[in-house]
Amino acid sequence: MPFKQLVFSGVQPTGNLHLGNYLGAITKFVALQDNYDCIYCVVDMHAITVWQEPAELTHTTREVTAAFLACGIDPKKHIIFNQSQVAEHTELTWVFNCVARLGWLNRMTQFKEKAGKDRENVSVGLFAYPNLMAADILVYRATHVPVGEDQKQHLELSRDIAQKFNNDFAKSISERGFGDAFFPLPEPIIQGPATRVMSLRDGSKKMSKSDPSDYSRINLTDDADNIAQKIRKARTDPEPLPSEEKGLETRPEAENLVGIYAALEGTTRAAVLGQFGGGQFSTFKNALVDLAVARLGPIGAEMKKLMQDPGHIDAILADGSARARVIAAQTMTAVKDIVGFVRS
Ligand code: TRP
């Protein structure tokens, strides 16, 4: 049975949004609006799988929403909401807790990395987190999910869960007129050149909100002076820029800055090197400062403006949640019938 095409993705409200989130996720979300119906979710329930200071969680939830809006996601044509306002996510998670196998979750590399040696002491939620992610997507029967490399394994698990649900309940699904599959197998959308944005202090580490040095990242709320300072101080090597991509292979810091330029400009690394190759790094950095300020400055300013009116942001989340709930409730009604729950 063909499923209606629908895009779903989520962003965790934990810490500052930075250039990596912008180029890796949010710009992709923006681009997909033209060709798909999209649901973008601020996943506050995922956030609390590790401790979040309550006031901070509220603030960051609004800030991610502000970033969505400032970057150009249209909350009327599409849906922007926060996860905890649609209880069906949690309801479906329970069913999925009973579909997914312990062995599947045990293989999740992100859990192993996050739990580290402290396995006995992390929350049960952190372990079950991929089931919640599967429920996020499948409660809307979404077909396409823009995700970064680091979430591909979780998305595969979502497919496995959808598949096992479809198999386990095949008879009930067909008896209730849903054909041979109730859930679609959601596909990743990994568009454009892989935009892996690395730390400005160390080209071998990803740009991260948890890096102790604020100079390692450009935050979406940084002003023009901050952006300029961080790029000027970004680590480089003494060589001029190469004219071809091959020359970047052993130069992670140079490669990162060229990649950032290309992504912000919407062009290729080769084209950037065609323009700046052979020249001094300082010339290139000046151009990068101008470009980054031109692209990010207005976003940061708009976010600040939006954050001054939390009531307006909350109203957008309330509206999005109400619309999301309508779809999610339909799915849950069907799931309850398929599973055999008595309902009124
Ligand atoms: N786990 C994702 C992350 O940490 C966020 C997320 C939650 C998500 N639910 C999702 C992404 C559903 C895509 C689809 O980045």
CATH code of the domain made up of 6-195+310-339: 3.40.50.620
CATH code of the domain made up of 214-305: 1.10.240.10
- Protein residue closest via CA to atom 13 of ligand 1: 9
Q: What is the dihedral of CA 219, 223, 293, 244, to 10 degrees?
A: -40
- For residue 83 and ligand 1, the question of a CB distance below 6 A is answered with no
- The answer for residues whose C-beta is within 8 angstroms of residue 70's C-beta and 6 or more apart is 220, 298, 299, 300, 302, 303, 306
Q: Where are the domains of the chain?
A: 6-195+310-339, 214-305
pLDDT digits (tens, 9 = 90+) for 234-281: 999 888 999 999 999 999 999 999 999 999 999 999 999 999 999 888
Ligand 1: atom nearest CA of 137 is 12
pLDDT digits (tens, 9 = 90+) for 281-319: 899 999 999 999 999 999 999 999 999 999 999 999 999
Task: Output the pLDDT for position 343.
Answer: 96
- For residue 236 and ligand 1, the question of a CB distance below 6 A is answered with no
Ligand 1: atom nearest CA of 43 is 7
Radius of gyration of the CA atoms of the chain, in A: 22
- For residue 133 and ligand 1, the question of a CB distance below 6 A is answered with yes
Residue among 147, 152, 161, 208 to mutate when testing ligand 1 (max atoms within 8 A of CB): 147
Rounded distance from Cα 127 to ligand 1 centre (Å): 14
